[in-house]
Amino acid sequence: MLINKRIMVTGAGGFIGSHLVEKLIESGAKVKALVHYNSRNDIGLLNLINEEFKQKIDIILCDLNDYNAVLDIAKNVEIIFHLGALIAIPYSYIHPRQVVMTNINSTLNVMMAAKECPNVERIIHTSSSEVYGSAQYVPMDEKHPLDCQSPYAASKVGADKIAESFYKSFNIPVSIIRPFNCYGPRQSARAVIPTIISQALNKKEIHIGSTFPTRDYTYCTDTVDAMIAMSNCKNAIGEVVNAGSGFEISIAEIIDKVFKIIGYELPIVQDKKRIRPNKSEVDRLFCDNTKAKKLMGWENRVSFDDGLKMTINWVEEHLDLYDTNSYII
């Protein structure tokens, strides 16, 4: 259903964005991939995708905070996947204003542009499971209360509500996908799984923050499939849908699994600067993906063990991309 579809992807140079662009090109879509402007002409993780696919992408460097730029790019597209955001929770402690302004304003600009472009048939807005905060019940469905435990989470709640308001106020065809923790090839050491793996492969000890929190991890290709399934589902317009595996695992358990796969163990050192403020730590995330299954016919296909092995293999082949001596926020 995506053959020859004119598609705009914001945040295309990021982890999930690059995988999404690759899948869209593979599906025959015509993709405008928006990457944040920089003077180095750095297109981020799009540099790592299939070279044949990369030649078919219309890569555009811009700033989502510039409404006129977003409007101009959206004029001829039919589907918008909005992933562009500042995503690091630790960074949001240091620069909360930048995170809040960027994530809310960029979403507002995308929605306003879509409102002015009658050719836009669908907007898939990307949320985050962090908006739920620590689980008040499990598994966590879309009716779970929203509880902002970081400036990042607050910015995503604000962005989600902007998107929702444009659906209700202007009948803009918005769907909100709420991925739980994603992992896989190309993910930076900002995230915990590549942090563990890269250190395990390159250091004599693992520096980590809290190891007790549990998360629901979904392999990157499954998350991309959920986004595409949502874009093809008319019944998802105006809806919020979780995309998670329905499986939870603690960080300590992930470390044990990594050790078993690589065949050796290392000392674990708790690094205080990697620990979230006490009231900000999300202790538990565990997804109820029933709605995604019923509404969109989606469910994850890659098991955590298989996904972890593939991620370890990729990181090992690209270890030069990881600075294992620094705490990456």
Express as a percent the part of the chain with pLDDT over 70.
100
Helix axes 251-262, 304-317, angle to 10 degrees: 60
User: Mean of the per-residue pLDDT values for the chain?
Assistant: 97
The predicted-structure confidence for 227-262, as pLDDT tens digits, reads as follows 999 999 999 999 999 999 999 999 999 999 999 999
The predicted-structure confidence for 136-152, as pLDDT tens digits, reads as follows 999 999 999 999 999 99
pTM here is 0.97
In this prediction, residues 297-311 reach a mean pLDDT of 98
In this prediction, residues 56-70 reach a mean pLDDT of 98
Nearest one of 315, 127, 299, 123 to 219, comparing CA atoms = 299
Structure tokens at 190: 């900002």
- DSSP assignment letter at 287: B
Q: Judge whether 190 lies within some domain.
A: no
Q: Rounded distance, CA 36 to CA 117, Å?
A: 22
The answer to whether residue 135 scores a pLDDT higher than 90 is yes
pLDDT on residue 52: 94
Q: Judge whether 195 lies within some domain.
A: no
The answer to whether residue 1 scores a pLDDT higher than 90 is no
In this prediction, residues 267-273 reach a mean pLDDT of 96
- The answer to whether residues 24 and 36 touch, using CB atoms and an 8 Å cutoff, is no
Q: Residue 294: which domain range?
A: 6-181+220-246+286-301
The answer to whether residue 123 scores a pLDDT higher than 90 is yes
Query: Distance of alpha carbon 108 from its chain centroid, rounded?
Result: 19
Q: Bridge-partner residues for 6, per DSSP?
A: 30
Q: Judge whether 134 lies within some domain.
A: yes
In this prediction, residues 267-283 reach a mean pLDDT of 96
* Strand ranges inside 136-258, DSSP E: 174-179, 181-183, 206-208, 214-215, 217-219, 240-243, 249-250
In this prediction, residues 278-292 reach a mean pLDDT of 97
In this prediction, residues 275-282 reach a mean pLDDT of 96
- The answer to whether residues 135 and 235 touch, using CB atoms and an 8 Å cutoff, is no
* Domain count for the chain: 1
Q: Assign residue 150 the CATH number of its domain.
A: 3.40.50.720
The answer to whether residue 112 scores a pLDDT higher than 90 is yes
In this prediction, residues 69-84 reach a mean pLDDT of 98
Q: Rounded distance, CA 61 to CA 179, Å?
A: 26
Q: Judge whether 11 lies within some domain.
A: yes
In this prediction, residues 58-77 reach a mean pLDDT of 98
Q: Judge whether 320 lies within some domain.
A: no
Q: Judge whether 293 lies within some domain.
A: yes
Omega before 139 cis (within 30°)? yes
pLDDT on residue 195: 98
Q: Judge whether 233 lies within some domain.
A: yes
The answer to whether residue 206 scores a pLDDT higher than 90 is yes
Q: Judge whether 215 lies within some domain.
A: no
